[in-house]
Structure 1
Amino acid sequence: MLNTKFKVGLLYSIFISSASMANNPLNFGSDIRTADPSGHVWQDGKMYLYTSHDEECQADFWMKDWHVFSSGNLVDWTAHGAVLSVDDLTWADNYAWAPDAAYKNGKYYFVFPAGTGHKDRVNPEKSTKWMGIGIAESDSPTGPFKDMIGAPLWQEPYANDPSLFIDDDGKAYLYVHAKAHDYHVMELADDMRSTKGELVKMDMGGYEPKMEGPWVFKRGEYYYFTMPENNRELSYYMASSPKGPWQYKGVFMQQEHNANNHHSIVEFKGQWILFYHRWIETPASGCTLRKRQRHSAAEYMYFNDDGTIQEVKRTSQGVADFANRVAKEK
């Protein structure tokens, strides 16, 4: 029989161990609300996460800046603050939504959506909202980033949720969620300050559900086009080219709370990581607009031998054991 003192100590140890393993959503060291996490591993070997910023009690996703965080173990994060704000732009004053980043030509590039106007949800015909895609650059992965062209990459079509993929040959491909132009891709010029041709419709194999937030990556011989299908569950296609033709493979993460999701997928120290956001009940100072707010989170991802993605389930631990897992595999 265990004596009472030992049992209390054991339960306390289990509680402490469980608490230390709870790492989802990610702890950035403050109560900042982040969403749409875009993960990248740069030359210094750290993971950098570029996010949008949900302001406390914001109205209808009126968002004003983008933030970046870095980590060597996915548990301890350094907050580098806002890397860009709509106040730095001459062509937009709102809607600092889901960003992405890339490295090329010895510089870091930050691609982002921003816009103007107001969306009238009651009388859509009165809406004046417009959004475009901008690109800024910096000598540092943490910015500050500067909008070198002082304008969006194009005016029409209305677009947001950019995904910027640099292939092995250095070509830059931009995928977006755009009005009447989903499942399109556009090449960027070598200077990364202009487009190369128009948006080109890709062959998606005949299946094109409502979507937003595309994310494209390469693993081995395959390219993956992933997205929030119906703006909720995460699904994917595979191809042997960054422009397709694509073959639909199915859903790998189910929806939660019937709310939007936005993600990125990146390999870090031999582990594949899915970054995404969760809508979690969060106390807000005098805020009655939303009971749940968005927080960036992470899970491990696994692939089958044929390259297909295994189902990913949300956990409270996330990638809390990342350092131990990497150490064991050395």
Structure 2
Amino acid sequence: MHQLDQLKQFTTVVADTGNFKQLAQFAPRDATTNPSLILKAVQQPDYAPLLARTVAAHRGQPLDAVVDQVLVAFGLEILQVVPGRVSTEVDARLSFDTTATLARARRLITLYEAAGIGRDRVLIKIAATWEGIQAAKVLEAEGIHCNLTLLFAFCQAVACGDAGVRLISPFVGRIYDWYKKQAGASWDEAARAGANDPGVLSVERIYTHYKRFGIHTEVMGASFRNVGQITALAGCDLLTISPELLAQLQASEAPLQRRLDPAVAARADLPAVHFDEPGFRFALNDDAMATEKLAEGIRAFAVDSAKLDAIIQGL
């Protein structure tokens, strides 16, 4: 049995791509997208007709409304391939605006529902800023489920759990990137690989906290740089994996063991932790890695959102 099938025995595998024509071969349950992945997809010849049709059908509408139509068009295609859920992201440029995030999230859900897709099959992706988490709290109360992304700090995960968020996406690879860059020439790849990888350790801490305190938020490790990070998190609720790394897992027959176990985590000796807004902001500020990677991630997604805007305006 290859590693991908072994992994699926105790972790829900999610495909991290906007390339829905590539999905079926890996049989993931869910799929996630983000502005960068959608931008990458729309520039491929295979997807040009879908983009052109969608833009033409909604010509004359405000640009942000047409963009949401494009995002949902890709989501609908993905939902024809995966049996579970698709994650569709709110514009990263709204990451510090709770009211605007709520409006965009509700519009995305309305578009999916108009196409016959129930709320149970969509996760609205929102950056895990304080404002984003507060928007998600309201949306969850309305039955609109959320995937809080760009999550790097423990305080972000705690606040999401307290808000009743359905799912979080801690970014393993970007955490690894930061620590490797900081260490420079002193970085020891072998010593910081697998279970000792800083990104893996971050997800393990969040997973243990959630299981210990009965928090129902799902943990979905994301942003992987190598297969070792994935296998070190076997047993995590979900893992969202790029097609390239899914293919590597599929090509390996090496035995894979469960690493994260909810029963073991539930017995962990941990203090209860909660954050109000000042406490959250201080804890995030106190974590240089999380502060830098959150800001960098929002900037990068905002740039790609602007590029997608420009492509749509050019059609």
* Larger strand proportion of the pair: 1
What is the TM-score with the length of structure 1 in the denominator? 0.29
TM-score, with normalisation over the residues of structure 2? 0.30
| Structure ranking higher in helix proportion | 2
Whose RCO is larger (CA < 8 A, sep 6+)? 2
